[in-house]
């Protein structure tokens, strides 16, 4: 028997016994009162108590049934890209009245991220949203969660591996295509010999960007690992440019990498075309100043927002899903639209 049913029965029994007792007392004291009027008053009082009980139990039941979604990403907490993704997830959860948890391993270690996925699955949430930079390292934990009946959506990285690890779908940018568009534009703007800066060598999405860049530009892949440390990015970029003065184009596949690369280019006095990925206030200033030609916008708020909404629809509408993955980009931001986009950089884009 449910708590609401128990509350209803208790209130009704209380009404019956109280009415009988009150009726008896009215006939034993020598004063004839109106039994019907007294019974009506008691009935009204008990109905008020009954309705209050039902309302309270219903509220408690609703609170206990709030959906809960967990998002896990591969950020180390240094990239300004990821707070926008987190904001998207929190905004979506607030819109549907769900609880939202955001987790990452500051070390950037894939085994640590896999443990976070396992811990999330053990807590039995209504869904898990996860970036997938390394399917070999993370695929087992994701598939185990899916096999346990927890709906999973991958986002940002891992488009090609999403279905294989058991995810329902993927929300993100086709990274090789984005790289190809960046390379084709760099070629059209005069670049002949490029260099791609990758801050996460393990991340297949960033490798796809670099490979796509050279597919669009032409020439062999020239990619170096610069790490996420700003000092290392500057040092390694400057060393590469000094070692090969024929390099006339650089693609930085993250906003903080682009800002550090710009400093390195100025430090060595190179005349280099600079293209970027993703937005930050600093990158927007660089575009306005002419230090960077463009940045590729993957609209990362969508990568946080849409998975929560899709999982909510899936859980509340008998498995409702979009008919395909959701591409969040790519799009170009350059001098032609930088002014209108600048206020959104680092907030919603």
Between CA 187 and CA 20 the distance in angstroms is 94
Q: What is the pLDDT of residue 276?
A: 98
- The helices-and-strands tally (H runs, E runs) of the chain is 12, 12
Q: What is the pLDDT of residue 41?
A: 67
Between CA 283 and CA 262 the distance in angstroms is 10
Low-confidence ranges of the chain (pLDDT < 50): 1-31, 60-63
pTM of the model: 0.75
Quote the strand ranges of the chain, DSSP E: 68-73, 99-104, 127-131, 152-155, 169-172, 194-198, 223-225, 249-252, 273-277, 294-297, 326-327, 331-333
Q: Is residue 268 within 8 Å of residue 245, measured between CB atoms?
A: no
Q: What is the pLDDT of residue 346?
A: 87
Q: Is residue 253 within 8 Å of residue 224, measured between CB atoms?
A: no
Q: Is residue 238 within 8 Å of residue 229, measured between CB atoms?
A: no
Q: What is the pLDDT of residue 179?
A: 98
Q: What is the pLDDT of residue 79?
A: 84
Between CA 177 and CA 135 the distance in angstroms is 20
User: Which of helix, strand or coil describes residue 104?
Assistant: strand
Q: What is the pLDDT of residue 30?
A: 46
Q: What is the pLDDT of residue 93?
A: 98
Q: pLDDT above 90 covers what percent of the chain?
A: 77
Q: What are the backbone angles phi and psi of residue 155, rounded to the nearest 5°?
A: -150, 160
Residue-wise burial string across 167-192, b where 16 or more C-beta atoms lie within 10 A, e elsewhere = bbbbbbbbbbbbbbbbbbbbbeeebe
Between CA 264 and CA 261 the distance in angstroms is 5
Q: What is the pLDDT of residue 18?
A: 42
Comparing C-alpha atoms, which of 296, 257, 258, 298 is closest to residue 274? 258
């Amino acid at each position: 028997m449910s708590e609401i049913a128990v509350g209803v029965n208790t209130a009704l029994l209380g009404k019956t016994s109280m009415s009988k007792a009150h009726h008896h007392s009215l006939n034993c004291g020598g004063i004839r009162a109106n039994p019907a009027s007294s019974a009506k008053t008691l009935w009204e009082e008990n109905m008020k108590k009954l309705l209050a009980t039902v309302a309270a139990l219903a509220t408690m039941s609703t609170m206990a049934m709030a959906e809960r979604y967990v998002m896990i990403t591969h950020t180390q907490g240094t990239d300004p890209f990821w707070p926008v993704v987190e904001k998207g997830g929190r905004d979506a959860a607030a819109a549907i009245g769900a609880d939202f948890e955001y987790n990452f391993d500051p070390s950037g270690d894939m085994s640590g991220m896999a443990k976070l996925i396992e811990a999330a699955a053990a807590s039995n949430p209504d869904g898990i949203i996860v970036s997938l930079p390394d399917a070999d390292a993370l695929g087992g934990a994701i598939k185990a969660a899916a096999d346990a009946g927890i709906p999973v959506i991958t986002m940002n990285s891992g488009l090609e591996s999403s279905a294989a690890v058991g995810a329902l779908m993927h929300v993100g940018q086709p990274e090789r295509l984005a790289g190809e568009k960046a390379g084709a534009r760099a070629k059209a703007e005069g670049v002949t010999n490029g260099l791609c800066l990758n801050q996460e060598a393990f991340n297949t999405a960033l490798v796809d960007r670099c490979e796509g860049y050279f597919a669009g530009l032409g020439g062999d892949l020239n990619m170096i690992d610069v790490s996420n440390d700003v000092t290392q990015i500057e040092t390694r970029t400057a060393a590469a440019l000094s070692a090969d003065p024929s390099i006339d184009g650089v693609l930085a596949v993250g906003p903080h990498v682009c800002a550090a690369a710009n400093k390195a280019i100025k430090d060595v006095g190179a005349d280099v075309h600079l293209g970027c990925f993703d937005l930050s206030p600093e990158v927007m200033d660089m575009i306005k100043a002419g230090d960077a030609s463009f940045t590729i916008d993957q609209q990362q708020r969508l990568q946080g927002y849409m998975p929560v909404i899709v999982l909510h629809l899936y859980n509340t509408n008998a498995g409702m899903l979009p008919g395909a993955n959701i591409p969040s980009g790519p799009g170009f931001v350059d001098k032609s639209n930088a002014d209108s986009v600048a206020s959104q950089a680092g907030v919603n884009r």
